[in-house]
């Protein structure tokens, strides 16, 4: 049976309009609101308002910088500041700037890094989405990342050397090499402390100023919504309280990029070294490895020989000689004691396993460092082992402090670091996450270490107490 009711769309429409008007609105937490810690000029890191997702982005940005450009590592600071959940009214516009940047396919720009009073170190970079990047430094170094070839090359024209390294790409890494583009893309759409317009090169631009660990300013062309210049200043960004400043300028978006610029090819006559996972090396499961000064790194102890290391972990991806010469001298600055054999110090590098081991011919293993993609980008795999206190990469600073107590030195420069010289640990953090830790022979208790509070420390021999 069918039953019909009269239906008048007009009252129904009014009813619907009322419902639309009275739609329940969820709580509105204004992400543009100024962060109190920032406003107060607090120098401590502030929590990322985006939470874990924000941290992940920032970390990813940082490793992109390290992995993709190498020589432009300082530029990673830009990432840190850009991605640090800035405050203020103006983050509003960043979503659109990100969108504009995300629509670009390539970028050329220059980084000028000012270390204290020194002349700037200039890096010219080219990056192309999905292809890779090229960075040329003012010291004659060139770093190229080629995503298709899954290799990077670092060329030192001064010393006529080149190192070709394997890339360990994972899903999502096809964007690696974008350098600047990638970090802008990943910026949280939260914003600047100031918002306004100014004139740059005779052109009106929008200005976004961030105040986080330092001052960071982005100038944007309102017509294209693309950045035209970025400036970042860390007043005490270098050890000893010296300032660090970085300017990124001369942006050219969507310029054609010749693929030949991204070739992984050393110039003729250059000494070439390779850092690649040996194909015939037996697999090593780093998940089972425990690292600590007393026990070493898995089966390898501090003091173990180079042969023992290779027996335990197989052929390194790369062996790099760091020192060769006499160890003992008659006096500081004086001639070496005759008759002694040269000491050879080497780095046995296993980025495919996430660690590197320092070994010398006279003392054996002197120390090792464990790292992963958070620190090295796509130049390494993650070390998946733990310390003796179950601390692994990605742990928080609080985790480490709870496990190992008060450090001898705590630095807060371009990275946060905890140094436990008397226990033999160093922990490096980025965005609040443990990105690498290293182990060396613990300092003796007779050595007193004073934290100068500016990223430096002073070591003294303790005065002996007379009975």
Partner 1 sequence: MYDWEEIRQRYGTLIFSAAYRILKRHDQALDCYQEVFLEAFEHCEERPVRNWPALLRWIAVRRALDRLRKERRISASVDPEKNAPLLRATGGSPSDAKEFRELVDRVRGEVAQLPERQGEAFWLRCVEQLSTAEVAEQLGTDANSVGVLVHRARTRLRDLLADVNPARVEQ
Q: Which stretch binds partner 1 (CB under 8 A): 7-15, 77-85, 247-255, 268-276?
A: 7-15
Q: Residues 85, 88, 364, 372: which binds partner 1 (CB under 8 A)?
A: 88
Q: Are strands 433-440 and 447-451 parallel, antiparallel or unpaired?
A: unpaired
Which residues have CB under 8 Å from 374's CB, separation 6+? Answer: 59, 62, 63, 382, 393, 394, 430, 433, 435, 436
Q: How many residues does the chain have?
A: 467
For partner 1, which is the closer residue by CB, 17 or 328? 17
Q: Which stretch binds partner 1 (CB under 8 A): 92-100, 325-333, 335-343, 398-406?
A: 92-100
Q: C-beta of 257: minimal distance to partner 1 in Å?
A: 30
- Starting at the edge strand found earlier in the chain, the sheet holding 386-387 runs 296-297, 290-292, 386-387
- Give the footprint of partner 1 on residues 11-30 (CB under 8 A): 12-13, 15-17, 19-21, 23, 25-26, 28, 30
For partner 1, which is the closer residue by CB, 93 or 379? 93
Residue 94 as a binder of partner 1 (CB under 8 A): the answer is yes
For partner 1, which is the closer residue by CB, 16 or 328? 16
Q: Residues 52, 130, 147, 196: which binds partner 1 (CB under 8 A)?
A: 196
For partner 1, which is the closer residue by CB, 188 or 214? 188
> Three-class SS of residue 298?
coil
**Count of residues of this chain found to bind partner 1 when the rule CB under 8 A is applied:** 42
Q: Is 14 exposed, middle or buried (0-12, 13-18, 19+ CB in 10 A)?
A: exposed
The CA distances from residue 37 to 34, 85, 87, 213, 235, in Å, are 9, 12, 10, 11, 18
Q: Residues 36, 42, 96, 276: which binds partner 1 (CB under 8 A)?
A: 96
Q: Residues 37, 73, 122, 189: which binds partner 1 (CB under 8 A)?
A: 189
- Give the footprint of partner 1 on residues 144-173 (CB under 8 A): none
Q: C-beta of 77: minimal distance to partner 1 in Å?
A: 25
Residue 452 phi/psi, 5-degree rounding, is: -75, -10
Residue 2 as a binder of partner 1 (CB under 8 A): the answer is yes
The CA distances from residue 21 to 11, 12, 14, 24, in Å, are 15, 14, 10, 9
Q: Residues 69, 142, 200, 206: which binds partner 1 (CB under 8 A)?
A: 206
Residue 195 as a binder of partner 1 (CB under 8 A): the answer is yes
Handedness of CA 192, 198, 200, 204 (dihedral sign): positive
For partner 1, which is the closer residue by CB, 95 or 389? 95
Q: C-beta of 424: minimal distance to partner 1 in Å?
A: 46
Q: C-beta of 21: minimal distance to partner 1 in Å?
A: 5
Residue 3 as a binder of partner 1 (CB under 8 A): the answer is yes
Q: Which stretch binds partner 1 (CB under 8 A): 82-90, 167-175, 247-255, 262-270?
A: 82-90
| CA distance linking residue 68 with residue 373, whole number of Å | 12
The DSSP line for 118-166 is SPPEEEEEEEETTTEEEEEETTSEEEEEETTTTEEEEEETTTTEEEEEE
- Starting at the edge strand found earlier in the chain, the sheet holding 132-137 runs 194-200, 203-211, 215-221, 226-238, 242-253, 106-115, 121-128, 132-137, 141-146, 151-156, 161-166, 271-275
For partner 1, which is the closer residue by CB, 175 or 193? 193
Q: Are strands 132-137 and 121-128 parallel, antiparallel or unpaired?
A: antiparallel
Build a one-symbol-per-residue string for 221-240: x at contacts with partner 1 by CB under 8 A, - elsewhere.
-x------------------
For partner 1, which is the closer residue by CB, 96 or 322? 96
Q: C-beta of 130: minimal distance to partner 1 in Å?
A: 23
CB 442 within 8 A of CB 422: yes
- The binding site for partner 1 (CB under 8 A) comprises 1-7, 9-10, 12-13, 15-17, 19-21, 23, 25-26, 28, 30-34, 88-96, 189, 191, 195-197, 206, 222
């Amino acid at each position: 049976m069918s039953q019909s009711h009269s239906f008048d769309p007009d009252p129904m429409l009014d009813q619907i309009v009322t419902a639309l008007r009275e739609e329940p609105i969820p709580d509105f937490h204004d992400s543009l609101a100024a962060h109190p810690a920032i406003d107060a000029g607090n120098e401590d890191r502030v929590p990322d308002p985006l939470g874990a997702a924000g941290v992940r982005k920032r970390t990813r940005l940082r490793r992109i910088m390290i992995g993709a450009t190498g020589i432009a590592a300082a530029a990673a600071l830009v990432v840190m500041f850009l991605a640090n959940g800035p405050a203020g009214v103006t983050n509003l516009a960043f979503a659109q700037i990100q969108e504009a940047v995300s629509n670009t396919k390539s970028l050329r720009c220059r980084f000028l890094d000012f270390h204290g009073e020194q002349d700037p170190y200039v890096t010219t970079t080219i990056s192309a989405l999905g292809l890779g990047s090229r960075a040329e430094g003012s010291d004659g170094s060139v770093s190229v990342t080629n995503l298709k070839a899954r290799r990077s090359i670092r060329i030192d024209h001064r010393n006529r050397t080149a190192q070709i390294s394997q890339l360990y790409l994972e899903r999502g890494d096809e964007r690696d090499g974008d350098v600047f583009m990638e970090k802008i893309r990943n910026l949280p759409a939260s914003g600047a402390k100031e918002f306004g317009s100014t004139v740059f090169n005779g052109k009106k631009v929008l200005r976004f100023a961030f105040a986080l660990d330092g001052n960071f300013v982005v100038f944007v062309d309102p017509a294209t919504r693309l950045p035209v210049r970025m400036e970042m200043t860390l007043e005490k960004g270098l050890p000893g309280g010296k300032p660090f400043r970085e300017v990124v300028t001369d942006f050219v978006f969507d310029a054609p990029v010749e693929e030949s610029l991204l070739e992984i090819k050393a110039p003729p006559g250059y000494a070439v070294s390779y850092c690649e996972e040996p194909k015939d090396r037996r697999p090593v499961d780093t998940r089972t490895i425990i690292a600590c000064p007393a026990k070493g790194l898995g089966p390898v102890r501090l003091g173990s020989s180079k042969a023992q290391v290779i027996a335990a972990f197989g052929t390194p991806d790369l062996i790099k000689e760091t020192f060769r010469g006499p160890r003992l001298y008659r006096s500081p600055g004086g001639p070496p004691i005759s008759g002694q054999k040269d000491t050879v110090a080497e780095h046995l590098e296993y980025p495919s396993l996430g660690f590197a081991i320092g070994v010398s011919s006279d003392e054996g293993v002197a120390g090792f460092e464990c790292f992963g993609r958070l620190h090295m980008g796509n130049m390494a795999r993650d070390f998946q082992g733990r310390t003796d206190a179950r601390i692994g990469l990605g742990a928080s600073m609080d985790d480490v402090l709870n496990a190992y107590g008060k450090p001898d030195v705590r630095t807060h420069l371009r990275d946060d670091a905890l140094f436990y010289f008397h226990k033999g640990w160093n922990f490096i953090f980025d965005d609040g996450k443990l990105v690498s830790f290293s182990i060396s022979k613990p300092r003796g208790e007779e050595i007193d270490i004073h934290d100068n509070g500016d990223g430096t420390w002073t070591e003294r021999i303790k005065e002996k107490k007379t009975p």
